[in-house]
Amino acid sequence: MPESLKKLFLLIVFFLPTIAQPQTITVKGEVTYISGGSYFTNIGKDAGAAKGDTLYNLNKKPILVIESISRKSSFCKTVNSEIKINIGTKVMAYVLPAVASEPSKSFVRKDTVTVVADQARIWEGSFDQIKTDSSTANVRPILRTASRKANQVSGRVALQSLIMNDRLNGNNDYQQPGALINLHVYRIQDKYFDLNVNARFRKTYSKRAMTGDNYPMRIYEISLVYNNPAVPYSFAAGRVFSPVINGVGNFDGGVFEYRLADHWQIGAFGGTQPDYLNSKPDWSHSKGGMYVHYKNEMSPDWRWTATLAFAGQYVKGKIDREYFYVQNDAAIGSKLYAYMSSEIGVNRSDLSARKKAIELSNLYVLGRYKPFKPLTISISYDARVNVYLLQSYRAIPDSLFDDAYRQGFRGDVHWRATRQLAVTFSSSVRTRAGDPNSTYLNSGGLYYYNLFKTRVNINCNIFFATTSFTKANSLSFGLSRQFSDLYLSTTYRTYRYQYVSQGTHYRRQSITFDGSYAFTRKIFVTAGYENSSGKNEKSDRIFAELSYRF
């Protein structure tokens, strides 16, 4: 083939797909709040993002996937635990430019789905001969500018291995191979079914007899979800976990939800409770209930969601626990956010003489305020108590069970002083009935990014704790650097605590080395080494993981 024809052929192969497909645009935002393993960003539907989209850092590494989304914000889970994510971390998404479609002037026929360049989809409704007047003539159909393609997969699968070498005379060595799968399949066979899988396998091998009995497989979720915007109902079946009623936990069964109006849904759920120890199916423990859910995005800067649910747990048909669950979530722009969840026990069993007929069994309140962009202030109140299960806990003495959790306040401050410098501070005080001494926890952190423009990051963290019996403190110092496809970090930690009554001290120090390398955009390898030493402890730990990210 002549050289000129070869060049023409290569141009056609590489550039024709980009001509045939709509060009994506880049939407940029940042992480606005972090709670446990959940991340909130200011990228929402108005920017063209959709549930299941992947968010990348400025190095174009995938770090988050959108689990749920509103007009101005999104709730995400991490897909790359090796890359550190903080409040203020810059993220970006690749979405399609907005596409508009004029509505019919007389009526919209049922269930019309228009495919735009095989990627953007517009649902034009399912209304049968509904006339439009001047008030609705300019109303556009529901638009998803970056809708999911059929059979699109996100998540990751990984093979893991943990090796522990005990350097003391006890020689308590062990090995722990494992695997995990976190998988989401969207629009199976171009239908409205999604598949969610979240499971972990881990097996411990050791010479010690006590480690022979363990629970290698834990399945947290494996569910099939139907969610068609053209019909007023949706459902899920399998091992289900629903964020709408997350206070109920996971269960083996199903959830059915029906949309009453624009902002109101009602639902019912039922199934069996997985075993608390090993997550195996347990047919003797059943769970069920119903709920009302309200969601209103009143304006681009104001949203509110609320759920009221009644749930019951039963053992072989007998009442184990019945309660109301309340959850509220509200935000005003990116400055003010509030969350509240509570459980109210309803005791109507003959075995509930030791309990009140109605009692508050759980309360958690969180408020977050961002007066200006660099500063975030959070205050929370946690009033958890032990929940007595009438059938499951009958053998537990009251004197042991009534040793309640501590309750109290916590405050957090995050200040991004400059683009490179961030400071955090956290303080909490917790009390317990019958104990005159409170528990105090205080911590602080200093983070400096891109030191002298070398892409080296530095962090220093300090922690203090005072309880009725002990005093403790810890200090850590870390360095990290992101190369093009390689991430390296090292951390030194020292930990010290004291038994107040005995006057004895214990000290432990460790140094860790971690790294990850991206062979491709989807295949990653991660490795870590930790050396620990202290009183009655000398050990080495080695961790390795090979993961494939969809």
CATH number of the domain encompassing residue 52:
2.40.30.20
User: Is residue 297, in this structure, part of any structural domain at all?
Assistant: no
Portion of the chain with pLDDT greater than 70, in percent: 78
Tokens 């709509």 found at: 22
pTM exceeds 0.85, yes or no: no
426 touches 442 (CB < 8 A): yes
Which pLDDT score, from 0 to 100, does residue 103 have?
Answer: 32
User: Is residue 201, in this structure, part of any structural domain at all?
Assistant: no
Contact partners, residue 118, CB within 8 Å, separation at least 6: 21, 149
| Of 128 and 58, more confident | 58
Q: Which of 143, 164, 194 is the last residue of a domain?
A: 143
Q: Which of 143, 173, 205 is the last residue of a domain?
A: 143
User: Is residue 125, in this structure, part of any structural domain at all?
Assistant: yes
User: Is residue 180, in this structure, part of any structural domain at all?
Assistant: no
Least confident of 83-92, 328-337, 502-511: 83-92
pLDDT tens digits for 383-442? Answer: 877 777 777 766 555 555 555 556 889 999 999 999 899 999 999 998 876 677 888 999
Q: Which two tokens stand for residue 360?
A: 């508050």
Query: From residue 499, how far is each of 379, 504, 505 by CA, in Å?
Result: 30, 5, 7
User: Is residue 37, in this structure, part of any structural domain at all?
Assistant: yes
Q: Which two tokens stand for residue 52?
A: 């299941």
Torsion of CA 218, 220, 223, 227, to 10 degrees: -160
How far is residue 288's CA from residue 245's CA, in Å, rounded to a whole number? 12
Rg (CA), the chain: 27
User: Is residue 324, in this structure, part of any structural domain at all?
Assistant: no
Q: Which two tokens stand for residue 28?
A: 């940029």
Domain housing 455: 419-550
Q: Categorize the per-residue pLDDT at 38 as very low, low, confident or very high, splitting at 50, 70 and 90.
A: confident
pLDDT tens digits for 46-83? Answer: 777 887 788 888 777 788 888 888 878 888 888 776 68
Averaged pLDDT of the chain: 79
DSSP 148: P
Nearest to 89 by CA among 33, 38, 136, 143: 33
Q: 3-class DSSP state for residue 536?
A: coil
How far is residue 454's CA from residue 470's CA, in Å, rounded to a whole number? 42
Which pLDDT score, from 0 to 100, does residue 300 have?
Answer: 66
Contact partners, residue 458, CB within 8 Å, separation at least 6: 447, 448, 451, 477, 478, 479
How far is residue 184's CA from residue 204's CA, in Å, rounded to a whole number? 28
User: Is residue 408, in this structure, part of any structural domain at all?
Assistant: no
Which pLDDT score, from 0 to 100, does residue 500 have?
Answer: 78
Nearest to 31 by CA among 18, 19, 42, 22: 42
Q: Categorize the per-residue pLDDT at 137 as very low, low, confident or very high, splitting at 50, 70 and 90.
A: very low
Which pLDDT score, from 0 to 100, does residue 395 have?
Answer: 54
What is the full DSSP assignment across 330-382?
EEETTTEEEEEEEEEEE--STTGGGS-SEEEEEEEEEEEEEEETTEEEEEEEE
For the chain, the domain total comes to 2
Tokens 């550039």 found at: 15
Q: How far is CA 361 from the centre of its chain?
A: 24
User: Is residue 484, in this structure, part of any structural domain at all?
Assistant: yes
Q: Which of 89, 113, 143 is the last residue of a domain?
A: 143
